[in-house]
């Protein structure tokens, strides 16, 4: 089984993260589908802090060594 590693705090686990949130720090990188703004937050905001619309957000956090490990955004998801 592959080890998952949080891109923000470096927490490692051999179990999947519930809702793609790190069980240690609870943070995730989110990208606005409207304007492309990327933010780091525990939860998706009500509206985008950049375009001020109520938008869908996509999780773009890196969870594999191929995209650079802790502190990185998965470029394939952009």
Q: Percentage helix, strand, coil, to 5, in the chain?
A: 10, 25, 65
Tens digit of each residue's pLDDT (9 = 90 or more) over 5-49: 776 777 888 887 777 677 888 788 899 999 999 988 888 888 999
Q: How far apart are CA 64 and CA 8, in angstroms?
A: 12
Residue 61: the pLDDT is: 83
Taking the C-alpha atoms of residue 22 and residue 19, their distance in angstroms, rounded to an integer, is 9
Q: How far apart are CA 42 and CA 30, in angstroms?
A: 9
Question: How much is the pTM?
Answer: 0.69
């Amino acid at each position: 089984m592959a080890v998952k590693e949080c891109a923000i705090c470096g927490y490692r686990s051999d179990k999947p993260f519930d809702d793609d949130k790190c069980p240690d720090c609870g943070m995730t990188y989110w990208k606005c589908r409207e304007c492309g703004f990327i933010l780091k937050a525990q939860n998706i905001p009500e509206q985008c802090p950049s375009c001020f619309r109520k938008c869908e957000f996509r999780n773009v956090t890196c969870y594999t060594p191929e995209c650079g490990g802790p502190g990185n955004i998965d470029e394939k998801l952009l």
